[in-house]
Amino acid sequence: MTHHNLDNHAAAVAVLGLGPMGRALAAASLAAGHPTVLWNRSPAKASALVAQGAMLAPTVADAAQRASVVIACVMNYRAVRAILSGLERPPSGTFVNLSSGHAAEARDMADWAAQQGVSYLDGAILTPAPTIGTAAATILYSGPRALFDESLPWLESFGGSSAYLGADVGTAAAYEMALLDLFTMSVGGLAHAFALASTEGIAPTAFARFARGIGGLLPDMADRFAEQLTSGTFTADISTIASAASAVAHVRDAATAGGVDPAPLQAVQSIIERAVAAGHGGDSYARLARSLVPADPAEAAR
Ligand SMILES: NC(=O)c1ccc[n+]([C@@H]2O[C@H](COP(=O)([O-])OP(=O)(O)OC[C@H]3O[C@@H](n4cnc5c(N)ncnc54)[C@H](OP(=O)(O)O)[C@@H]3O)[C@@H](O)[C@H]2O)c1
């Protein structure tokens, strides 16, 4: 394939940003045989990849002019802006931002890119750096379909699933934020539960044996939430919001008694109690997702 020709800069991929994720993307691109141009604010991070055949560009502008697809993977959108503000002309190829942020930031960046004449695709990496280049990688993309299709031969080298979500450039970031919400709240729950168990002298390994089972409930619950939120029917076949209200009160008391910060439980308790006060105590947990969005016109109409 022509894009494997090392002399053909137009077929290269550029990776801007060489943190753990940028390095993983660059390594996967090299492993797939693509000419790979690198740039990082701290150039020393490129050395291992250069030893594997990547080319280190002296400036962002140089990297951006030498590739068909220019990937940015830095800490946040502010860093992307900082990098791009140094460019005097648009990148030669499609600019694909894989740095994390929320949907409005992606849309602002796309507006800015349009003003600069830059072809812009946004993406969100859902899996950790070690998955990149393996079947376990999942990366979401949104923005102009044609840009995704044209860039796919390069994006596919990152492995696993490259999912196109639609023309609204903010969609990939929106998914990333909601999934990070689930992840961070789950991690917070795990930390809180281990802390509470420790106040009663329960050994971490003994506790983990049963904690695993709670995590195992979530996949089926996600499907049930989806089904009920889609149908708008919150029949409680299993547990009601009222039963959750009583459970959270017990746990909060136990946390307070054990000297564990009850603040995370208070936050959940107030969400549950608002739903009960609004008359939804007999409904299933999925109703809580509706109650959290009081401005939702669908909710107001019910
Ligand atoms: N690591 C993962 O497993 C993972 C998983 C999913 C998503 N992500 C996302 O991927 C992105 C990159 O993550 P990461 O783990 O590689 O590391 P990171 O710590 O989030 O970002 C490090 C990179 O950002 C650069 N950077 C930060 N501020 C900058 C600025 N003002 N100007 C220019 N460059 C700047 C750093 O340059 P220097 O080297 O010069 O400091 C480095 O290249 C993040 O948005 C992260 O949320 C990461």
As a whole number, the mean pLDDT across the chain is: 93
pLDDT at site 63: 95
Question: pLDDT-based confidence at 302, cuts 50/70/90?
Answer: low
The ligand 1 atom at the shortest distance from the C-alpha of residue 22 is 16
From the CA of 126, give the closest atom in ligand 1. Answer: 6
The closest of 61, 70, 139 to 100, measured between CA atoms, is 139
pTM, entire model: 0.91
| Measured CA distances, 262 to 46, 58, 182, 215, 254 (Å) | 45, 52, 20, 21, 9
Q: Taking the mean position of all CA atoms in its chain, how far away is CA 286?
A: 22
- What is the CATH code for 2-167? 3.40.50.720
Measure 46 CA to ligand 1 centroid, in angstroms: 14
CA neighbor of 98 nearest in space, from 53, 158, 179, 38:
158
Question: What is the pLDDT, as a whole number, of residue 87?
Answer: 84
Domain boundaries defined on the chain: 2-167, 174-301
Q: How far apart are CA 149 and CA 28, in angstroms?
A: 19
Mutate to test the pocket of ligand 1, among 15, 18, 21, 60 (most ligand atoms within 8 A of CB): 21
73, 74, 105, best to mutate for ligand 1 pocket (most atoms within 8 Å of CB): 74
> Comparing 18-27, 38-47, 79-88, 163-172, which segment has the lowest mean pLDDT?
79-88
Minimal-distance CA residue to ligand 1 atom 25:
74
Closest C-alpha residue for ligand 1 atom 7: 125
Residue 11: which of 69, 96, 64, 91 has the closest Cα?
A: 69
Q: How far is the CA of 35 from the centre of ligand 1 (A)?
A: 22
State the distance from the centre of ligand 1 to the C-alpha of 136, rounded, in angstroms: 21
pLDDT at 110: 96
Write out pLDDT tens, residues 176-215.
Answer: 999 999 999 999 999 999 999 999 999 999 999 999 999 9
CA 18 – ligand 1 centroid, Å = 7
The C-alpha atoms of residue 162 and residue 158 are separated, in whole angstroms, by 8
Sorting pLDDT into bands at 50, 70 and 90, what band is 84? confident
Residue range 174-301 forms a domain whose CATH class is mainly alpha
With a cut of 80, say whether residue 7 has pLDDT above it. Answer: no
Cα(44) to centroid(ligand 1), Å: 15
Single-letter amino acid, residue 135:
A
pLDDT at 274 over 90: yes
What atom of ligand 1 comes closest to residue 99's alpha carbon?
45
Q: For the chain, how many residues are written?
A: 302
> Which residues' Cβ are closer than 6 Å to ligand 1?
17-22, 40-42, 45, 73-76, 79, 82-83, 99-100, 125, 128-129
Whole-number pLDDT of residue 298: 57
Percent of the chain at pLDDT exceeding 90:
87
Closest CA to 23 of 56, 62, 1: 56
pLDDT at 10: 53
Residue identifier of the C-alpha nearest atom 48 of ligand 1: 21
Whether residue 90 contacts residue 67, with contact meaning beta carbons closer than 8 Å, is answered with no
Which pLDDT tens digit goes with each residue over 90-148?
Answer: 888 899 999 999 999 999 999 999 988 899 999 999 999 999 999 999 999 999 999 99
